[in-house]
Chains A and B, each alone.
Chain A
Amino acid sequence: MRLATILLMMVLAAPVFAAQPDEMLSDPAMEERARDISADLRCLVCQNQSIDDSDAPLARDLRILVRERLLAGDTNQEAVAYIVDRYGDYVLLKPPFNVQTLLLWAAPLGALVIGTAIVVVFMRRRSSAPVAVSEALTQEEQDRLKDLMRGEGS
Chain B
Amino acid sequence: MIAEIGHFALVLAFCVALVQGSVPLWGAWRGNGAMMALAPGAALAQVVLISIAFASLMYAYVVSDFSVANVYENSHSLKPMLYKVSGVWGNHEGSLLLWVLILALFGTAVAFMGANLPLTLRSRVLAVQGLIAAGFLAFSLFTSNPFLRLDPAPLDGRDLNPLLQDPGLAFHPPFLYLGYVGFSMAFSFAVAALLEGRVDAAWARWVRPWTLAAWTSLTLGIAMGSWWAYYELGWGGWWFWDPVENASFMPWLAGTALLHSAIVTEKRGALKSWTVLLAIIAFSLSLLGTFLVRSGVLTSVHAFATDPTRGIFILLLLIVAIGGSLALYAWRAPTLKADGLFAPISREGALVLNNLLLATACFTVLVGTLYPLLLDVIGGAKVSVGPPFFELTFVPLMVPLLLAMAAGPLMPWKRADLRGVLSRMKAVVFFSLALWGAVWWYATDLSPLPAFGIALATWIAAGALLEFGERIQLFRIKPGQSWGRAVGLPRSAYGMTLSHLGVAVLVAGITASSAWQTEIIRAMLPGDSQEIAGYTLVFEGVVPGQGPNYSYERGQFAVLRDGAQIAVMEPEKRQFFVQTMLTTEAAIRTTLMADLYVVLGDSGEDGSWAVRIYYNPLVPWIWGGCLLMVFGGLVSLTDRRLRLAIPSRRKTAAAVQPQAA
User: What per-residue 1/0 map shows which CB atoms of A3-28 lie under 8 Å from chain B?
Assistant: 00000000011011111111010000
CA distance A3 to B469 in the complex (A): 67
User: What per-residue 1/0 map shows which CB atoms of B197-218 lie under 8 Å from chain A?
Assistant: 0000010000000000000000
Interface residues on B, range: 35 or more
B350 to chain A, nearest CB (A): 12
Instruction: Give the contacts of B562-600 with A (CB-CB under 8 A).
Output: 573, 580-584, 599
User: What per-residue 1/0 map shows which CB atoms of B265-281 lie under 8 Å from chain A?
Assistant: 00001000000000000
Chain B residue contacts of A12, Cβ below 8 A? 580-582
Chain A residue contacts of B599, Cβ below 8 A? 17
A132 and B338 within 8 A (CB): yes
Interface residues on A, range: 35 or more
Give the A-B pair count, Cβ closer than 8 A. Answer: 158
A49 to chain B, nearest CB (A): 8
Chain B residue contacts of A101, Cβ below 8 A? 371, 383
A115 and B360 within 8 A (CB): yes
Chain B residue contacts of A47, Cβ below 8 A? 242, 298-299
B381 and A100 within 8 A (CB): yes
Given contacts A104-B371, A107-B367, A132-B339, contact A93 B388 (CB under 8 A): yes
Does A74 belong to the interface (CB within 8 Å)?
Answer: no
B298 and A147 within 8 A (CB): no
Instruction: Give the contacts of B599-624 with A (CB-CB under 8 A).
Output: 599, 601-602, 604, 610-612
Instruction: Give the contacts of B111-140 with A (CB-CB under 8 A).
Output: 116, 118
Chain B residue contacts of A147, Cβ below 8 A? 116, 647
CA distance A147 to B651 in the complex (A): 12
CA distance A116 to B397 in the complex (A): 13
Chain A residue contacts of B383, Cβ below 8 A? 89-90, 92, 95, 100-101, 104
Does A72 belong to the interface (CB within 8 Å)?
Answer: no
Chain B residue contacts of A88, Cβ below 8 A? 381-382
User: What per-residue 1/0 map shows which CB atoms of A133-153 lie under 8 Å from chain B?
Assistant: 010000000001001101111
Chain B residue contacts of A24, Cβ below 8 A? 521
Given contacts A111-B360, A112-B397, A119-B352, contact A93 B384 (CB under 8 A): yes
A28 to chain B, nearest CB (A): 12
User: What per-residue 1/0 map shows which CB atoms of B619-659 lie under 8 Å from chain A?
Assistant: 00000000000000000000011000001111111100010
Does B380 belong to the interface (CB within 8 Å)?
Answer: yes
CA distance A147 to B601 in the complex (A): 67
Chain A residue contacts of B380, Cβ below 8 A? 100
Chain B residue contacts of A13, Cβ below 8 A? 580-582
Chain B residue contacts of A116, Cβ below 8 A? 356
B339 and A134 within 8 A (CB): yes
CA distance A89 to B375 in the complex (A): 13
A94 and B356 within 8 A (CB): no
B268 to chain A, nearest CB (A): 12
- Choose from A53, A93, A108, A154 the contact partner of B393 (Cβ within 8 Å): A108
CA distance A60 to B298 in the complex (A): 24
- Choose from A16, A108, A152 the contact partner of B582 (Cβ within 8 Å): A16
- Choose from A48, A89, A92, A134 the contact partner of B240 (Cβ within 8 Å): A48
Does A38 belong to the interface (CB within 8 Å)?
Answer: no
Does B387 belong to the interface (CB within 8 Å)?
Answer: yes
A109 to chain B, nearest CB (A): 8
Chain B residue contacts of A89, Cβ below 8 A? 381-384
CA distance A119 to B386 in the complex (A): 31
Chain B residue contacts of A123, Cβ below 8 A? 344
A111 and B363 within 8 A (CB): yes
CA distance A22 to B611 in the complex (A): 11
Chain B residue contacts of A126, Cβ below 8 A? 338, 341
A11 to chain B, nearest CB (A): 11
CA distance A148 to B360 in the complex (A): 37
B575 to chain A, nearest CB (A): 9
Does B385 belong to the interface (CB within 8 Å)?
Answer: yes
CA distance A152 to B371 in the complex (A): 49
B120 to chain A, nearest CB (A): 11
User: What per-residue 1/0 map shows which CB atoms of B354-365 lie under 8 Å from chain A?
Assistant: 001101100110
Does B235 belong to the interface (CB within 8 Å)?
Answer: yes
- Choose from B341, B363, B658 the contact partner of A131 (Cβ within 8 Å): B341
A92 and B384 within 8 A (CB): yes
CA distance A136 to B380 in the complex (A): 57
B384 and A91 within 8 A (CB): yes
B202 and A94 within 8 A (CB): no
B402 to chain A, nearest CB (A): 16
B359 and A115 within 8 A (CB): yes
A39 to chain B, nearest CB (A): 8
Question: A-B pairs with the 10 shortest C-beta distances?
Answer: A93-B386, A94-B388, A151-B647, A17-B601, A107-B367, A108-B364, A21-B523, A90-B382, A108-B393, A154-B654
For this complex, 24 residue pairs linking A to B, each with C-beta atoms less than 8 Å apart, are A12-B580, A12-B581, A12-B582, A17-B599, A22-B604, A47-B298, A48-B384, A48-B386, A90-B382, A90-B384, A92-B384, A93-B388, A94-B392, A100-B380, A101-B383, A108-B360, A111-B359, A112-B360, A116-B356, A119-B356, A132-B337, A134-B339, A148-B202, A153-B652
Using CB atoms and an 8 Å cutoff, list the residues of chain A in contact with chain B: 12-13, 15-22, 24, 40, 42, 47-50, 53, 88-95, 100-101, 103-104, 107-108, 111-112, 115-116, 119, 123, 126-127, 131-132, 134, 144, 147-148, 150-154
14 other A-B residue contacts (CB within 8 Å) besides A20-B521, A48-B243, A112-B357: A12-B580, A17-B601, A40-B386, A47-B299, A48-B241, A48-B384, A49-B240, A92-B383, A93-B388, A104-B368, A111-B363, A131-B341, A132-B338, A134-B269
